[in-house]
Structure 1
Amino acid sequence: MAAAAGAPVPGPVISGWAVSSPYGLGRHEFAEGLRHGQRAIAPVDKASWPVPYESAALVPGFDVRAVLGRKGTRSMDRVTGIAAATVGMLLDEYGAGLAAAPESTGLVLGTSGSVQSIMDFTRDALTGDKPYLVDPARFPNTVMNCPTGQSAIRHSLKGPNVTVSGGAATALLALQYATRLLRGGHGTALLAGAVEEFSVQRARIERVAEHGGADPQPLGEGGALFLLEDEEGARESGRPVLARVLGSRFRAFQETGRAGTVLARCVADVLAGAGARADDVELLVPGTPPGLLGKQEEHALDGLTGNRLPLRSLIGDAGAASAAFQLAAALAEAAACPTLVDRLALVTAVDRDGTVGALLLRLS
């Protein structure tokens, strides 16, 4: 039935999710780690990771070939392996009926790409033996959309294939993009989320980056993906409606001191668009960046009294995957807490490069 004139257009529902996190591969490990407040940040093995950090939050024991097998993984880098593994887990559990219409099932993946692959390939181009200098099989890893393309090929997803990058807000941008594709009729089901890898080169860059006057936090890695479709399609396929996407808003700021004001406008806009009030929000999952940006985010959320779910202190700075973990945490919390059924959850992100975002959900 068409929406009445002036009424909000119904958003898609989230009918499945999968996560690869510092707690391990799978939703159960992630949910249990959060439920117990387990800190997944651990000392770094400097022999394997010569990085300027003493601790990090890595996906435990992750090895691309061990997880995905030897076929097609000889030149696959870490971020692509994490993406392909997470897509596989989601499809294994929630993919009933999707294989029958591969052209209508797509992937919108947020990522920063692999700094390690880019810098390794560049070094080889300058120092490798002639005449070839580099291993051409590793060139695709230097392109930002490699994890998205390789995951789609491996799992036969023939619908829209999109890569999004936006710092800490990446996953929220990916979900918005997937929502627009669904509304435009470009697919009937879309996997959307974000991934990030831990690497020596990422650690070196992050160590010297500007962190709002605060010391850099331990780095994390992993990813989370969510299955988006309309409610009718989910129910026909026997998938649960885990949450309804009510809307998202994004803005930019030039000065760090303006981030809170800009984010507050995002929050107000997304609530107004859904016809909701600040006191309707039962669960808040902020990004909690370090330093001044974190204080700005706290300022923007001062008027909201919902329960806050801390995350970064448990799993570190997950880079492009940060908001994906935040959304996964909201779904895990809803599954464990019946009082959150039919309540609103708000996920916010503030990126040091000047982007803020807010995503509003109705938990089911």
Structure 2
Amino acid sequence: MAAETGAPPAELVISGWAVSSPYGLGRTAFAGGLASGRRAIAPLDGADWPVPYEEAGLIPGFDIKAVLGRKGTRSMDRVTGIAAATVGMLLEQYGAGLAADAESTGLVLGTSGSVQSIMDFTRDALTGDKPYLVDPARFPNTVMNCPTGQSAIRHTLKGPNVTVSGGAATALLSLQYASRLLRGGHGRALLAGAAEEFSVQRARLERVADHGGAAPQPLGEGAALFLLEGATDARESGRPVLATVLGSRFRAFQDTARAGTALEACVADVLAAAGAAPDDVELIAPGTPPGLLGKQEESALDGLTGNRLPVRSLVGDAGAASAAFQLAAVLAEAEADPRLVDRLTLVTAVDRDGTAGALLLRPA
């Protein structure tokens, strides 16, 4: 844990963001794709992707060595490459001055890890030629915090380094964790968000998972990272205040039929803490999972009149990166629509493993 950095910030803001998505690398491609309503899900080449899906939302032409160079990428897996590339884009645009305070700049990354790396390494351990059996350089990829650690090393982030995993709610949990670190004085600026990869093994597991009686949705991949810091630090550093983080709330549920009740409580709590009413929410980015979970989320949001922002239907089920894409979509929409300035926006998520969450923002 980094050393304490002084008084905690009174107000936390998002002062930058970057995204790698099925629309391409960067904010421009993502915002343009969403604005056009273009579906970024495309047919899969069965020779390259022997999976039980006919289409998916892949980052177009993503190649780790082409994006990051050959140095340090020989053994890098896909999710680590996506995370490192997105962290790099964020720092390139908004990182002026952060390198001078590397000890107080950290990373909180949400990820499910790479099931492909884990299963490939396990297979090699059982089938590889003796005496070595496996490539030891690939062992770090089997650890869930590999993308976080490798991204921090590559971009010289020496502050707190945390990996969070929570299914569809992962990015919201990452933002909450980063907020707690900042309020506890354990950093001055934190990159927080989530990353997910598309892989053969992930596709096979998702195909047989319980989707609440609904057919599995096409899978997506990518990452979105957000620069979180105190409002005063952002302004003094010349970075724009894009949105104020008003708070987040989470609930656990055991029965899927109770997911709506859990999410409704999250929304009510986060609004009450901000002194806001349901009618104050102008824009909502729901997770819209398939089946009963989706219906439960809809019922929990029935009392809110804000416009809905579709994301999953355009980019696919991005797994751990789902809520990160939702938050990125909110920031892109706020940048394009001045009417959202100083209005409230809400990002929600419900995960099939029993987590519901809500994040409240006020775009600047």
Matched with 1:4 is: none
Residue type at the aligned position of 1:275: G
Q: Quick check: 191-200 or 255-264, which moved more?
A: 255-264
1:114-167 Cα offsets, whole Å, 9 max, x none, are 000000000000000000000000000000000000000000000000000000
Match of 1:258 in 2: 258
Amino acid of the residue matched to residue 194 of structure 1? A
Q: State whether residues 347 and 359 of structure 1, in contact with CA within 8 Å, keep that contact through their aligned partners in structure 2.
A: yes
Partners of 1:33 and 1:51 lie apart in 2 by: 26
Q: Give me the whole-angstrom Cα distance separating, in 1, the residues matched to 2:329 and 2:265.
A: 24
CA distance in 2, matches of 1:163, 1:356: 19
Residue 10 (structure 1) shift: 4.0
Partner of 2:44: 44
Aligned pairs (5 A) from 1:316-335: 316-335=316-335
Q: Distance in 2 between matches of 1:131 and 1:299?
A: 58
Residue 178 of structure 1 corresponds to which residue in structure 2? 178
- Secondary structure at the residue paired with 2:125? helix
Q: 1:121 — aligned with what?
A: 121
SS in 2 for 1:219: coil
Contact 2:11 2:231 in 1 (8 A): no
- 3-state SS in 1 of match to 2:192: strand
Tell whether 2:201 aligns with 1:201: yes
- Equivalent in the alignment of 1:143: 143
Residue in structure 1 matched with residue 6 of structure 2 by the alignment: none
Cα deviation for residue 199 of structure 1 reads: 0.0
- Structure 1: stretches of 5+ with no match in the other structure: 1-8
Are 2:112 and 2:167, in contact at CA under 8 Å, matched by a contact in 1? yes
Aligned to 2:235: 235
* Aligned residue number for residue 340 of structure 2: 340
Q: Distance in 1 between matches of 2:79 and 2:10?
A: 34
Distance of 1:41 and 1:179 partners within structure 2: 33
Read off the aligned partner of 2:360 and give its amino acid letter: L
> Could you tell me how far apart the structure 2 residues matched to 1:10 and 1:285 are?
26
Corresponding residue number in structure 2 for 1:69: 69
- Three-state SS of the structure 1 residue aligned to 2:212 is coil
Given the alignment of the two structures, is residue 269 of structure 1 paired with residue 282 of structure 2, yes or no?
Answer: no
Name the counterpart of 1:160.
160
Decide whether the 8 Å contact of 1:10 with 1:246 is kept in 2. no
**Aligned 1:8-23 pairs, distance under 5 A:** 10-23=10-23
What is the CA–CA distance in structure 2 between the aligned matches of 1:330 and 1:247, rounded to whole Å? 15
Could you tell me which amino acid in structure 2 is paired with residue 126 of structure 1? L
Whole-angstrom CA distance in 2 between matches of 1:181 and 1:118: 30
Inter-partner Cα distance in structure 2 for 1:10 and 1:46: 52
* d(CA) in 2 for partners of 1:304, 1:11: 26
Q: Distance in 2 between matches of 1:164 and 1:11?
A: 23
Contact 2:51–2:204 under 8 Å retained in 1: yes
Amino acid paired to 1:60: P
SS at match of 1:201: helix
Task: Check conservation: 1:14, 1:226, Cα contact below 8 A.
Answer: yes
Q: How far does residue 169 in structure 1 lie from its aligned partner after superposition?
A: 0.2
| 1:84-127 CA-partner distances (Å, limit 9, x unpaired) | 00000000000010000100000000000000000000000000
What is the alpha-carbon distance in structure 1 between the residues aligned to residue 221 and residue 18 of structure 2? Answer: 15
Deviation at 1:229, TM superposition (A): 0.4
Q: Which runs of 4+ in 1 moved over 6 A?
A: none
Alpha-carbon separation, structure 1, partners of 2:229 and 2:268: 26
CA-to-partner distance for each residue in 1:193-251, whole Å, 9 max, x for gaps?
00000000000000000001100000000010000000111011110000000000000
Please list the CA deviations of residues 293-330 of structure 1 after superposition, one character each: whole Å capped at 9, or x if unmatched: 00000000000000100111100000000000000000
Alignment correspondent of 2:98: 98
Q: Distance in 1 between matches of 2:11 and 2:201?
A: 39
Residue identity matched to 2:76: M
The equivalent of 2:28 in structure 1 is 28
Per the normalisation by structure 2, the TM-score is: 0.97
Report the equivalent of 2:299. 299
For residues 270-302 of structure 1, the C-alpha deviation after alignment (integer angstroms, 9 at most, x for no partner) is: 000000000000000000000000000000000
2:247 & 2:259 partners in 1: Cα distance?
20
Where 1:15 maps in the other structure, the secondary structure is: strand
CA RMSD of aligned residues (A): 0.6
**1:11 CA displacement:** 3.8
Output the CA distance in 2 between the equivalents of 1:10 and 1:278. Answer: 25
**SS of equivalent to 1:304:** coil
| 8 Å Cα contact 1:11-1:179 kept in structure 2 | no
Cα distance in 2 for residues equivalent to 1:185 and 1:93 = 25
Q: Quick one: which amino acid aligns to residue 100 of structure 1?
A: A
Amino acid at match of 1:360: L
Alignment partners' CA distance in 1, 2:107 and 2:311: 26
1:144 maps to a residue whose letter is M
Hey, what does 2:5 align to over in structure 1? Answer: none
TM-score, normalised via structure 1 length: 0.97
1:6-31 deviations in whole A, cap 9, x for unaligned? xxx94410000000000000000000
Indicate the residue corresponding to 2:286 in structure 1. Answer: 286
